[in-house]
Amino acid sequence: MISLVALCVLALLVLALLGAVTALMPVGRVLVYGGSLVLCLVLLVAGLASLDTTVQRVTLPLGLPWIGAHLRLDALAAGFLVLIGLGGAGASLFALGYGRHEHAPQRVLPFYPAFLAGMVLVVLADDAFLFLFAWELMSLASWALVMTDHQAEGTARAGFVYLLMATFSGLTLLLAFGLLAGAQGGYDFASMRQAHPTGLLAALVFVLATIGAGSKAGLVPLHVWLPLAHPAAPSHVSALMSGVMTKVAVYGFIRIVFDLMGGPVWWQAVVVLALGGVTAVLGVLQALMEHDVKRLLACSTIENVGIIFIGLGLAMAFQVNGFIAGAALAMTAALFHAFNHTLFKSLLFFTAGSVLSATGTRDLERLGGLIHRMPPTAVVALVGCMAISALPPLNGFASEWLIFQAVLLRPDLPQWGLKFMLPVDGALLALAAALAAACFVRLFGIGFLGRPRSPAAAEAQEVDRFSIAAMAVFAALCLLAGLFPGAAIDAIAPIVDLLLAGRMPVQLADPWLTIAPIAASRSSYNGLLVATFIVVSTTIAAVGIHRLASRAVRRAPIWDCGFPDARPITQYSGASFAQPLRRIFGAVVFRAHETVDMPAPGETRPATIRKTIHDPVWDALYAPLVGLVTWAAEAMNVLQFLTIRRYLAFVFAALVVLLLALTLWQ
Amino acid sequence: MAVTEATLAEAMAALGSLLVQFLQMALVLALSPLLTGVVRKVKARLQRRQGASVIQPYRDLRRLMGKEVVLADNASWLFRVAPYFIFASTWVAATLVPTFATGLLFSWSGDLIVITALVGSARFVQALAGMDIGTSFGGLGASREVMIASLAEPAMMMIVFCVALIAGCTQLSTIAGFMLSEAVGLRVSLALALVALIIVAVAENSRIPVDNPATHLELTMVHEAMVLEYSGRHLAMIELASSVKLLLYVSLIGCIFVPVGLVHGSAPRAAYAIGIVAWLAKLAVGGTLLAVLETSVAKMRVFRVPNFLGAALMLGLLGVLLLFVSRGM
Amino acid sequence: MHSLSFDIAHMLAGGLVLVSFLMLYQDRLYALLNVLALHALVLALSVAWQAHIQDAPHLYITAAIALGFKAILIPWALRKMVFRLGIHREVETVVSIGLTMLAGMALVALSLQVMLPVTAQADPVAREDIALALSVVLIGLLMMVTRRNAVSQVVGFLSLENGIIFAATGARGMPLVVEISVAFSVLIAFIVVGIFLFRIRERFDTVDDAALDQFRGGRS
Amino acid sequence: MDRFQGPSPLAGVQGAAPPGGVRGEAPGTHTMTIDPVELVLLVPLVAAALLVVVPSYRLGAAGNMLACLVTLVCALMLLGDRPVPGQYLLVDDLNVVFIVLNSFVGFTTSTFSASYIAHELETGRLTPRHLRFYHAMFQLMLFGMNLALVANNIGLMWVAVELATLTTVVMVGIYRTHEALEAAWKYFILGSVGIALALFGTILVYIAARPVVGEGMDAMVWTTLIAHARDFDPPLLNIAFIFLLLGYGTKVGLAPLHAWLPDAHAEGPTPISAVLSGLLLNVALYALLRFKMLLAANPDAIAPGPLMIALGLLSVIFAGLMLYRRRDIKRLFAYSSIEHMGIIVFAFGMAGPLGNFAGLLQMTMHSLTKSAIFFTVGHIAQVKGTQRIAEMGGLTETHPLLGWGLVAGVAAILGLPPFGVFTSEFLVVTSTFAREPVLAVLLVIGLLLAFGALLLRLTDVAFGPVRGPIGPVHASYIPLFAHLLLVLIAGIWLPGPMVAWFQHVAALLG
């Protein structure tokens, strides 16, 4: 199986080459995306088939010669392979249609398969070199994709911040691996697993791994690149970046912390929980303020990464205390949420892409009424929005429900830090979930409902069949995963077993397909039944009323309390919709401030409202750093314009200093 | 033969449970307008008005259902489907709450978190429906609704946590069973949770001081602003859903904090009568107290609501923290 | 005999350092050039003495170069240049001469300190000579970095180079010494010619003042 | 005393050095058996003499390429057939790496140069007369470098490095603009001081060796020196190393001795920039390595590692910061060369099998990549008619091959996979971190600083709105993509023999 997967990677790379060659021909698109679709499906099947099988290894004579390139396919890798295969297949299918709108296919086609290949290689890698190689390759390829629309405003900055942060992440992981490998250079994971780091070393590895994987995943405060880079890329790539690449980062974290390092320490769980909680809330708050559809989705990705990390933190907390059943539950929840997020975030990015190609804008304030112009897209977008808002019976709810169950599992952990963090994280998670619902009401309500806010939106045309097919498949998967969460949980079980040597009870054994993390009397959820109830009740109500009471409908102008205003501008906009929440949360977190400039009576100028928002993370962390580098660069720049005498003085000084050092040494 | 008899008995038992389950569903649906009517009546009496009859809500519903629907020109399918969905998910949520009996046939298909989420689903769709026509009022209502929800939902989750941590589960039937037992005792965190739950319930049901179900003054509306464009049977469904939701919350409070009279699903038939009577009593008391509350306080400005709900959130969090620190609280 | 030859070699080495200090002390260009000639002369004597005691006739060539080229030709050329280019007749210093002298002292101390641990295993000439040569080199560099005037900088470089030649000849049996001294002479000739060609009046790095001001700011 | 010839009594220490096998001072005197080492020296020398009289620039360029090709072939022959070390010439595992690399980059640069100078002639920046001189100097420079590499005599090595330096000084000034002359002058003066310091160091090494090895030429033969380094006087070696470090370090371009480097790169013809970055720095580094080995062989001497690490780190961080304010594209990449030299010196300073291996690999990759970048930059500057970054933009849009070539080159030099620099930087950082975490963190900070700056400028030049003139390109892409391809292959797969060889060299370096 592993050789098949490796062949797929090779085929993807070949596809990248072909893409470079055929980029400017129409066949290139079909070739690249069609090929990627097929290969991703193969990967998906291979991943599914390998979930339960034993670990497979293969070593290729590539990379560092005295190590070789170690590939390993275990349950964890297989699980993420499924994720990549699924996300990649969806994106490729979508792109088969969406790609037609690309202005510069030569900037996308060569890098798209390479990006996929990079991600697959990351999960397959079984030595530090190959891992980082693939990790950086993934970053580089996606950077090139981010730069696709390079002449658009902001793309340059997005690409810059993205690749810089990606490299920062790579270098941090490099340091972490350096520590794990030790002075002897045991770069293969097998020898790292043997050397259990302890004490300060372990702490250092953990911190580095968290920073490294976290900055790629989008953990606050290392998330700043994400809302810039994800929207800049073409939509199917955004879907991959948000839906899949962040998960690959999560994979990296899991691989290092749970697999390579051995057991965690309790304070590490506290750190992860704290980061996860803050990330979840900050991400969604930022999403609430955004009016660029894709940026909004990217911010929401930050939120979901936070949720996943909360799950991982819980797993660590329970593992530390030897409570394997709980750890398994939390880990399952985290992985399931990762899977779900791939589904609905890809779906939402697809819809954003469809909207973009239909209207030519990503600005929420210029959309509206698309439910009439693009009915299928609207339906799937609604499914996506409801799924990401964690509403039953869709998949987002199922995984968040599991995380809530994990939070509630053990209030009696011995460590004070965990005692405190668990409920706080529960509250943050609840807050994030509620805000996410608000955020996606806003997205769908402003974007698809109401009246068109621009001519482009008024004349939008439904997108092509491939795009719709991709979206429909993902919407269906969202629904299926919500209805049968037990199947997903059981599928994840081997991964959890591998990591924690324990698993959740088998779920599919229940005749009603109810999921019960610990016991049915304690907590249980049956998505299928709830969905059936809702459908049945809805049908009963609708049919009953239509039969028994009235079914007459009369179309009439908008009533609007008797004061209808025909102009769409009188509608609530995205900004006005978010205003209450901006006032409540934004004022504290983002120093959001509104200034109203009201003309005096008699003046003819329009009244204006101006809102300002500061990103606290940027202000507190990045701005000073940028300032420092700029200052240092400015200060050093003088050295470019010195006279030769001064340069000679440097030589002289160096000589004297070294001689002095020599005398001291002697 | 023995096997078949056993199977038969099982089947009969299952049928019985099914019947009880349906009875609860039907009762919830049937009684909810009455509860609304009672609240209105009591409120009117407290305000020294005669007030409409307690069955007025039924009449309203009948009248509304019989009328034709006036749809705005640009209403989408979502607008038309929403009322039914809102109704259905609220109803399903309500039937998951043990009203007079615990351990019903389908009670395990969802726990307290699911109930909260189902109510959330209804609100999600309602907010969307409010924005469908593209009026300023619809947007206003939706915007404020999600603002309130964004605080009320976490508060509700904190209450759920509180209760779940005490009872060791999130399954309402089990919680109710636990609350009936001696193990509960008096706990600070439970009291906090109760206060928080009442605040949340008031907010969720668009009651004074958060919202006024009777007002149609534009700038103070929240819930009503969202449903302004609805008419006829659609409006009927939404009104009915509101009533069911009110009933849901009163039942929920009753089930958790006053689990007196709740019977277990496998109890003899006769016990159900007691259960139902106890439930009716709880509803009556709850409705009266709500009316008293609504009469005695004034409506808040919209931007004071966050503080109000924030208090609930903090209370809930405090309760949970206390529980994490010490099981005895 | 050995002791005497050693003493003479040592004396000449000390003289070289002394002349180096003399250079630091000068504040007129012409005087500086005279001291430079003296420096080269001492070097030539020293090299010749080494040729004598090492019985290495080829070193006489080096001595001759030092005498003819460095003691006579270069000072003369520089003097000519100062005159032709109308260079300031004063040595423009960055720090005061007193301070430079102090720094020179410190450098000599440093050289001695650095050379102290060198085991005097073979012949004592090496250790002492190299310490002094190191001093000369360092003082030459010091001169280069503390003088603004191009001519005095060349003088600094010359004295530095003299130190090196001195060390090379002091090292018994060192091959290629003659070639090196020739190569260095060519190098110095290049520098002098370069200064003359590019009309470097004030600073070492100014090819042409007027042109320089135009682009210095704009380039990076 | 016979200083010029005669077999050393100690030459036998290294193994078999039959008296007849010792080379005379003038290569090529043995007409009967000219072996590759001599050819590597002879070919450029003869070519230089010939090219100075070739009138046609086309012929000159062709001759230049041919000579480089022949040199390359000879260098490759050295891989198989290696002469025994003599008193003057030496070919061992260490310098074969450098010679082959040198000849290869020399050859590709001459190819690039052919298309580059055609354009320079068109625009009138150079005249055919200049070009004769240019080609001759090019070959002379290659001769100097090769001589420095194969020299088994520290004096000869010194002479050769100086020859290479002086020829490049002349080349840098060939445009004879004020800027070019100033750059050349700066290079000349700083280089001269470096020369002097290196010489002093060389003399000190001789003095240290003399009591042990004996007077005369033997005390300058490297193979003899290394055999006896154990017995040398440590304090003398220490001082010698400091002078050599600063002297050759000036050529390597280590901060704070780097000042000549950016200007020389920026103002000279681009082929020369490529050669400077790709070759000359390596040659100086090679010299430094030889002396480092000498020092490492003496247990009581100061460890050369810390000094090299300090200078290396300083260079990395300094160059990282200096990169931010660059407005001239060639100067930008010149600073990047300083940074990479810093990394390499750092790696060699860390030593150990991994550190040395990483240093060697990084050096090879840097040579290939940086010269590839300069090839691109040369054409870009010709297309745009300027070297100012502000007047370039959107290259991938207007000149896709050049633009993407630049992107690939910069990605490679930034240490991103799938290019080879990634491998070496991986090794440097991981191997350092396990031993000296603080140093590794500092190095990483420096790397990130440089990364940010280069990426910023790359974004400006290759992407974004189109700026500056959109002229036609007459580029020869073969050298560019040949280099990139090699770097790419090295990033994915290192041939086994090469690895074994590098590992052996790494072991030699200690």
A-D interface (Cβ pairs under 8 Å ≥ 3): yes
Nearest to A167 by CA among D426, D347, D325: D426
Q: How many other C-beta atoms can be found within 10 angstroms of the C-beta atom of residue C220? A: 17
Number of residues in chain C: 220
Contact D219 C198 (CB under 8 A): no
Tally DSSP H helices, then E strands, for chain D: 20, 0
Residue recorded with tokens 């109401």: A450
Greatest pairwise CA separation for chain D in angstroms: 71
Low-confidence spans in chain D with pLDDT less than 50: 1-32
Q: In angstroms, what separates the C-alpha of A652 from chain C's closest C-alpha?
A: 6
Decide if A495 contacts A55 (C-beta within 8 A). no
A505 touches chain B (CB under 8 A): no
A/D interface, count of CB pairs below 8 Å: 188
Nearest to D142 by CA among D187, D176, D104: D104
C157 touches chain D (CB under 8 A): yes
Examine the pLDDT at B209 and tell me if it is beyond 80: yes
Cβ neighbours of C111 in A, within 8 Å: 659
Suggest the residue from A400, A402, A404 to mutate for an interface test with chain B (most B CBs closer than 10 A).
A404
- In this prediction, residue A229 carries a pLDDT of 92
Examine the pLDDT at C207 and tell me if it is beyond 50: no
Across the interface, of A431, A451, A537, the residue whose CB is closest to B154 is: A431
Contact C118 D178 (CB under 8 A): no
Question: Mean pLDDT over residues A505-529, rounded?
Answer: 83
Question: Is A595 inside any structural domain?
Answer: yes
Higher pLDDT, A382 or B111: A382
Q: In angstroms, what separates the C-alpha of B46 from chain A's closest C-alpha?
A: 30
Q: Domain check: are A373 and A515 in the same one?
A: yes
| ipTM of model | 0.89
User: Buried b vs exposed e over D392-427: b needs ≥16 C-beta within 10 Å?
Assistant: bbbbbbbbebbbbbbbbbbbbbbbbbbbbbbbbbbb
Contact D429 A642 (CB under 8 A): no
Of chain C, the end-to-end C-alpha distance in Å amounts to: 62
Chains with 3 or more CB pairs under 8 A to chain A: B, C, D
Question: Is A262 inside any structural domain?
Answer: no
Greatest pairwise CA separation for chain B in angstroms: 71
Q: In angstroms, what separates the C-alpha of C203 from chain A's closest C-alpha?
A: 8
- Rg (alpha carbons) of chain A, rounded to whole number: 26
Q: Domain check: are A529 and A380 in the same one?
A: yes
Q: How many other C-beta atoms can be found within 10 angstroms of the C-beta atom of residue A203? A: 14
Of chain D, the end-to-end C-alpha distance in Å amounts to: 36
* Region for residue C119 given its phi and psi (left: phi exceeds 0; alpha: psi -120 to 50; beta: otherwise): beta
Cβ neighbours of B157 in A, within 8 Å: 404, 426-427, 429-430, 433
- In this prediction, residue A417 carries a pLDDT of 86
Residues B293-312 have pLDDT tens digits of 999 988 888 888 888 999 99
Q: Domain check: are A399 and A523 in the same one?
A: yes
Q: Domain check: are A502 and A596 in the same one?
A: no
Contact B88 A541 (CB under 8 A): yes
Residue-number span of the structural domain to which A601 is assigned = 572-612
Q: D238: exposed, middle or buried (C-beta count within 10 Å: 0-12, 13-18, 19+)?
A: buried
- In this prediction, residue B323 carries a pLDDT of 84
- In this prediction, residue D23 carries a pLDDT of 40
- Tell me the domain boundaries of chain B: 24-325
* Region for residue A554 given its phi and psi (left: phi exceeds 0; alpha: psi -120 to 50; beta: otherwise): beta
Tally DSSP H helices, then E strands, for chain C: 9, 0
> For residue A206, what pLDDT band results from cuts at 50, 70 and 90?
very high
Examine the pLDDT at C209 and tell me if it is beyond 70: no
Decide if D451 contacts D414 (C-beta within 8 A). yes
Q: How many other C-beta atoms can be found within 10 angstroms of the C-beta atom of residue A519? A: 12
- Rg (alpha carbons) of chain D, rounded to whole number: 22
Residues C144-200 have pLDDT tens digits of 888 877 788 888 989 998 999 888 888 878 888 888 888 888 888 888 888 777 766
Pairing of strands A608-612, A69-73: unpaired
Question: Mean pLDDT over residues A437-446, rounded?
Answer: 94
- Rg (alpha carbons) of chain B, rounded to whole number: 20
Helix ranges restricted to H, chain B: 2-46, 56-66, 77-96, 112-132, 136-167, 172-180, 188-204, 223-226, 232-257, 269-296, 305-325
Residue recorded with tokens 């009953």: A544
The CA distance from D100 to D75, in Å, is: 5
Cβ neighbours of A651 in D, within 8 Å: 190, 193-194, 197, 246, 250, 256-257
Across the interface, of A156, A179, A655, the residue whose CB is closest to D433 is: A179
The CA distance from C56 to C50, in Å, is: 8
Give one DSSP letter per residue of B105-151, joined into a string.
TTGGG--HHHHHHHHHHHHHHHHHHHHHS--HHHHHHHHHHHHHHHH
Question: Is A394 inside any structural domain?
Answer: yes
Chains with 3 or more CB pairs under 8 A to chain B: A
- Torsions phi, psi for D3 (to 5 deg): -95, -10
* Chain A residues 551-570 within an 8 A CB cutoff of chain B: 552-561, 564-565, 568, 570
The CA distance from D504 to D92, in Å, is: 11
Cβ neighbours of C205 in A, within 8 Å: 643-645
Lowest mean pLDDT among A72-81, A400-409, C44-53, C117-126: C117-126
Higher pLDDT, A338 or D159: A338
Cβ neighbours of B85 in A, within 8 Å: 534, 538
Q: Which residues pair with D45 in a beta bridge?
A: none
Lowest mean pLDDT among B256-265, C64-73, D345-354: B256-265
Higher pLDDT, B329 or A519: A519
Q: Domain check: are A636 and A576 in the same one?
A: no
The CA distance from C4 to C6, in Å, is: 5
Contact A645 C153 (CB under 8 A): yes
Contact D182 C205 (CB under 8 A): yes
Give one DSSP letter per residue of A566-581, joined into a string.
--GGGS--HHHHHHHH
Examine the pLDDT at C27 and tell me if it is beyond 60: yes
Q: Which residues pair with D386 in a beta bridge?
A: none
* Chain C residues 4-63 within an 8 A CB cutoff of chain D: 56, 58
- In this prediction, residue A367 carries a pLDDT of 92
Q: In angstroms, what separates the C-alpha of D321 from chain A's closest C-alpha?
A: 5
Q: Domain check: are A376 and A418 in the same one?
A: yes
CA distances to B81, B88, D3 from B237, rounded to whole Å, are 11, 9, 112
A650 touches chain B (CB under 8 A): no
Q: Domain check: are A635 and A650 in the same one?
A: yes
Q: Domain check: are A488 and A603 in the same one?
A: no
Nearest to B283 by CA among B307, B308, B250: B250
Nearest chain A residue to B170 by CA distance is A523
A645 touches chain C (CB under 8 A): yes
Q: What DSSP state is assigned to residue A621?
A: I
Suggest the residue from B10, B92, B200 to mutate for an interface test with chain A (most A CBs closer than 10 A).
B92
Chains with 3 or more CB pairs under 8 A to chain D: A, C
| H or E stretch covering A58 | strand A56-60
Question: Is A211 inside any structural domain?
Answer: no
Nearest chain D residue to C57 by CA distance is D1
User: Across chain A, what does the average pLDDT equal?
Assistant: 90
The CA distance from A181 to A178, in Å, is: 5
Contact A164 D451 (CB under 8 A): yes
Across the interface, of C134, C163, C191, the residue whose CB is closest to D192 is: C191
Helix ranges restricted to H, A450-516: 455-458, 465-483, 485-500
Nearest to D63 by CA among D125, D130, D122, D131: D131
C91 touches chain A (CB under 8 A): no
B-D interface (Cβ pairs under 8 Å ≥ 3): no
Number of residues in chain A: 666
Tally DSSP H helices, then E strands, for chain A: 27, 5
Q: Domains in chain A: how many in total?
A: 3
- In this prediction, residue C141 carries a pLDDT of 92
Torsion of CA D133, D136, D138, D139, to 10 degrees: 180
Residues D13-36 have pLDDT tens digits of 333 333 333 343 444 444 446 677
Decide if D7 contacts D109 (C-beta within 8 A). no
B-C interface (Cβ pairs under 8 Å ≥ 3): no
Residues D33-57 have pLDDT tens digits of 667 788 888 889 999 888 888 888 8
Decide if A662 contacts D238 (C-beta within 8 A). yes
